[in-house]
Amino acid sequence: MADTDAAGDADDEGAGSGTAGGDAADRSGDDADRGAPAAPTGGLVVPVEPTPTLRATIAYAVEAAVDDGFSTIHLVEIASWRNGDPDADSRAAKAERVLERAEAWANSDLDDLDGDRPPVTVATELIGADEYLFGPDDYVRVLAAYAKEHDAGAVLLDPEYTPVGNTTLLQPLEFALSNTSLTVETAPVTRPTRRERLRSEATGGRFVAMFGFSLAFYLLLGDPFYWFDWVTGIATAAIVSITLSRVSIDTEPAIPRTPMRVVRGVIYVPVLLFEIVKANVEIARVILDPRLPIEPTLNRMRVIVGSGLPLMTLANSITLTPGTLTVRARDSDLYVHSLIPSARDGLFDGSLERWTRFVYYGRASARLPTPRERDDCAILQGPDATEELPIAAADGGAEPSESGETPPEPDEGSDAATPEVTDG
Amino acid sequence: MSVVDAALVAGYTVGDFLLLAAAGFTVLAIGMLYRAVKGPTMQDRVLAVNVLGTNTVVILAILSAALSEPTFLDIALVYALLNFLMAIAISKFTVERGGVL
Amino acid sequence: MIDALGTARVALVVAFTLLGLFFTFVSMTGVLRLPDVYSRAHTASQADTLGAGFGLAAVALTIGWEAAGVKSVLLLFFIFVTNPTAAHAIARAAFEEGTVPWTEGDERR
């Protein structure tokens, strides 16, 4: 433990505050802030709220606890209600669930660390429910009392921590905490946002395609036999294609390929319509049945259709056919929620996937094994579950298995790491 | 003679029938309002409002046919666009606060 | 006054309107009865899309081959593309907020 600490300190000689950096190397930057007092022992208090950055904050708390030698991580939820309020019970139950989830994350992170599990315990507590709390000072008072009682010397704040509604309490909280003997740090984690560039290169082909499409759309809404509509239409189409041709069209239109895709798409539409009507009748029967015989599960399916427009077509087709709903499309992994088992089986038989391949790549590539034969599908819930539900990974935290090495910056790692299927 | 004015039964025209259908859609929309009010989560509400919006588009279109008011369809088109934008914007905004706007 | 083709068209309009009402009713029932966001999104995206599709098809048939009729067909296509996308976006937002899908045995919400 001492080794890692020393190394961390050396690394972070010049680093600023803990909040500035975003990556794992910064994790001991807070030591500089803490100044003279030796690394605190005892407990680390982490106030918990269901924020998008909670997962990453917990991962960071575990790192910090291991590196700085805390013996206990206290996950506390400060109640923003009072016992005896009309909905106090349901809110407390909700808070308990959040705490349970946070505890499970912390424990799994501890288990996943290299080598033996460090001697860190995780405690959860719901505090402050016996009185109304007004403003940051009250919160800090409750926190400080808890910390004193449990011999904890440090507080780690989630950067999105907002105990009361949507008011930003973080800065006042930090300020109020700085008046206590506790050491305070904000976890250097960021909310998962994706900011990749949408644009592709501007080319003549794209411009012409976009121009023609928008002009046709304009004249369809207007009157194609009136000269003024042509003038305004050309002006509008020019503006649209100058600004948006790089954003909207993602692959270069090519002469034999693009019209062929359109023709095959026209073949696909009646097929899809028929599927929709057929399956809708089945779903209508289920929904109107007084017993409501549904068996919803979440499933994962890896599809081979390429990315971009084909994937969108497939995901939308899946959503349109009743009983299945695309919840998440992560590269070529589709998370599909299914309402009834027969819809799920139909999905795994992959007829929609085959049709999408047919529309975009022609007849030859339609003949691939179904997802079931490829073993590319999994049920994530219910009695037949074959895989765990990835909810923990979904809300922004790093994958539990990786969190030992790389806690924050989940946006780049998790999205770029998975291989992408390209046209072919 | 257009289809709207074609007699259906007992002196009522297709236009009257369409007006009745629009009333039916409105009643169904009121039913959905319950989910928009009750929630319980934000996504439930967005979903209910989205469904309500689709319903409104259909009602507008049917009224346009029944009353022979083609301009209603333009409004329906704009409404459909806004409805879609609303659903996308709110769901994006709840997930990636500050990531879109 | 109205020929056989016209009669067929009127019959189709009536049939499509009734089908549209029926599927919208299914969608409403689903949105009210089903236990969680994900299953509600099913009916919201599917039954409702079909209901709206039938309704708009009836409108297009009523108006016939005019600018307004073309517009209602356009509206139909638009709804068929956007409705599943919107439902997907909402379901995804719920998923990323960590809402666990309801399974049998959970209490109804």
- Assign B61 a pLDDT band (cuts: 50, 70, 90): very high
- Render pLDDT for A394-406 as a digit per residue (tens, 0 to 9): 443 333 333 333 3
Mutant choice from B14, B50, B51 vs C, greatest count of C C-beta within 10 A: B51
Instruction: Give chain A positions within 8 Å (CB) of B97.
Output: 52, 191
Establish if B79 belongs to a structural domain: yes
Residue in the block written with tokens 């909280």: A173
In the prediction, which pLDDT does B97 show? 57
Q: What percent of chain B has pLDDT over 90?
A: 29
Look at B65 and C63 and tell me if their CB atoms are within 8 Å.
yes
Q: With a CB-CB cutoff of 8 Å, which residues 75-94 of chain B face chain C?
A: 76-77, 80-81, 83-84, 87-88, 90-92, 94
- The DSSP element (H or E) to which A175 belongs, if any, is helix A170-178
Question: Quick one: DSSP state of residue A76?
Answer: E
User: How many domains would you assign to chain B?
Assistant: 1
Dihedral-angle region of residue C73 (phi above 0 means left; psi in -120 to 50 means alpha; beta otherwise): alpha
The backbone torsions φ and ψ at residue A184, rounded to the nearest 5 degrees and listed phi first, read: -120, 145
State the pLDDT at residue C11: 87
Give dist(CA C37, CA A201) in Å, integer.
39
Domain range for B31: 3-95
Give the pLDDT of residue A41: 63
Q: What is the spatial distance between Cα C34 and Cα C40, in angstroms, rounded to a whole number? A: 6
User: Mean pLDDT: which of A259-263, A357-361, B45-49 is highest?
Assistant: B45-49
The larger pLDDT score, comparing residue A135 to residue A17, is at A135
CATH number of the domain located at residue range(s) A2-186 in this protein? 3.40.50.620
Q: State the residue for tokens 């038989």.
A: A349
Phi, psi of C100 (to 5 degrees): -85, 130
**Do A192 and B96 count as a contact with CB atoms less than 8 A apart?**
yes
Q: How confident is the model at residue A37 (pLDDT cuts 50, 70, 90)?
A: very low
**Given this model, what pLDDT does residue A257 score?**
73
Integer Cα distance of A169 and A299 in angstroms: 39
CA–CA distances in Å: residue A281 to residues A315, A348, C22, C26, C37: 21, 20, 11, 10, 21
Average pLDDT of the segment spanning A185-196: 65
pLDDT at position C108, please?
53
Return the minimum-mean-pLDDT range out of A236-245, A294-303, B91-100, C64-73.
Answer: B91-100
Does B13 contact C at CB distance below 8 Å?
no
Q: What is the pLDDT of residue A393?
A: 41
| Res B100: pLDDT | 45
Residue B34 forms part of a structural domain: yes
Task: Name which residue leads in pLDDT, A342 or C27.
Answer: C27
pLDDT of residue A143: 81
Confidence category of residue A75, pLDDT binned at 50, 70, 90: confident
Contact between B20 and B29 under an 8 Å Cβ cutoff? The reply is no
Answer whether residue A104 shows pLDDT above 80: yes
Has residue A30 got a pLDDT over 70?
A: no
Does position A419 have pLDDT exceeding 60, yes or no?
A: no
Which pLDDT score, from 0 to 100, does residue B55 have?
92
- The torsion region of residue A53 among left (phi > 0), alpha (psi -120 to 50) and beta comes to alpha
Model pTM score: 0.63
In-domain check, residue B19: yes
C77-102, pLDDT tens digit by residue?
888 888 888 888 888 888 777 777 77
Residue contact C88–A316, C-beta within 8 A: yes
**In the predicted structure, residue A93 carries a pLDDT above the cut 50:** yes
Verify whether the Cβ–Cβ distance C37 to B35 is below 8 Å: no
Identify the H or E element spanning A334.
strand A333-338
pLDDT at A274 over 90: no
Give me the residues of C, 16-75, that contact B with CB < 8 A. Answer: 17-18, 20-21, 24-25, 27-28, 31-32, 37, 40-41, 44, 48-49, 51-52, 55-56, 58-59, 61-64, 66-68, 71-72, 74-75
| pLDDT at residue C21 greater than cutoff 70 | yes
Q: pLDDT tier at A35 (50, 70, 90 boundaries)? A: very low
**Does the pLDDT at position A414 exceed 60?**
no
Q: What is the mean pLDDT of residues C19-41?
A: 87
A325/C45 Cβ within 8 A: yes
Whether residue B12 is contained in a domain is answered as yes
